[in-house]
Amino acid sequence: MPARRTVYLRHPTVAGCDARLAEQAQVEPTDLGVDPSTLETAPPGYRLDRDAIDLGAGQEVFERARECLGRWAAHLGSGLRLHPERPEIVEGRDVLISIRVGPVHVVAACRTVAVVDELRRFGFAYATLPLHPERGRQAFFVEHGDDDVVRFVVSTVSRPRAWWARASAPLTRAVQRRAAKKYVSAVSECVAPTDGRGRDGVR
C-alpha cells in the first residue's frame, strides 16, 4: 500500500520525493462526482470555497495571467515547493506539493484531472491522492469575462483526510484558507505591471 505519511521534520530528498510519486501513481483519487473544471458544487460532507481576484482588463492582461498560471506562479509565488519544480500541466500528471508549517514540512500529492485551454479561459484542476492531508479537488482558472475583466479564481472542494487534520480542524482550516489567499495574491503580483498599477483587491 502506498505510504500516507504527510508530516516530516526534514523535507524529503529528491529521491524520496520521486519514490513517493511513484507510489502514488499506483492509486486513483476518490471520485467525488463533481466536474473538476468548474467545481460549482460540493458533495455531502465536503466544503466548497471560492477565492477570486480581478487582475485588470483586456487581452494583454489575460495573456499575462495565462502565462503566470501556466508556470505555477500561484504555488511558487506562495512559497510552496513543487516536485518536479514546474511540472507540465497535462491531465494525469502527478505533483508533490510541500509547505512548511512551523517546524515541520507537510507534503501532499495531487494529480491533474482537468485542463482547460480556451480563448477566454485557461487553467487546471487537481485531485488529492492518498498522500495528502485533505481529500478533494482544487481548481485554478483565469477567465476573460464578457465585461472584459480578467479574473483569477481558485475553487476548492475538500474535507480532512489525515487524523491530525481532523483532530486539529480549526488550525488546518486556517492554513488552508491562508494558502488560498496567497494563491490569488501571488498571481496578482505576477500579472501586475512593474510599477504596481492596475491591481485590484482580493475578495
Q: What is the pLDDT of residues 175-198, one digit of tens each?
A: 788 888 999 999 999 998 654 444
Write out pLDDT tens, residues 107-133: 999 999 999 999 999 999 999 999 998
- 172 has a pLDDT exceeding 50: yes
Residue-wise burial string across 116-152, b where 16 or more C-beta atoms lie within 10 A, e elsewhere: beeeebbbbbbbbbbbbbbbbbbbbbbbbeeeebbbb
Give the three cell numbers for residue 96.
Answer: 508533490
Contact predicate 18/95, CB 8 Å:
no
pTM, rounded to two decimals? 0.88
Q: Per CATH, which fold does 7-191 belong to?
A: Alpha-D-Glucose-1,6-Bisphosphate; Chain A, domain 4 (3.30.530)
What does residue 92 show for φ and ψ, rounded to 5 degrees?
95, -10
Burial of 33 (0-12, 13-18, 19+ CB in 10 A): exposed
The predicted structure's pLDDT at residue 120 = 96
Element (H, E) at 62: helix 59-70
Write the DSSP string, 21-44. HHHHTTS-----SS-TTT-----T
What is the rounded distance in angstroms from the CA atom of residue 14 to the CA atom of residue 81?
A: 12
- pLDDT exceeds cutoff 50 at 200: no
pLDDT of 153 > 60? The answer is yes
Q: Average the pLDDT over 64-69 and give the result.
A: 96
Q: Higher confidence at residue 38 or residue 168?
A: 38
CB 29 within 8 A of CB 128: yes
Distance CA 70, CA 111 (A): 16
Closest by CA position to 184, among listed 136, 125, 141, 145: 141
Question: With 80 as the cut, is the pLDDT of residue 64 above it?
Answer: yes
Query: What residues contact 11, with CB distance under 8 A and at least 6 apart?
Result: 81, 98, 105, 107
Q: Provide the residue ranges of all domains of the chain, joining segments of one domain with +.
A: 7-191
Task: Give the closest residue to 89 by CA, choosing from 142, 53, 29, 23.
Answer: 142
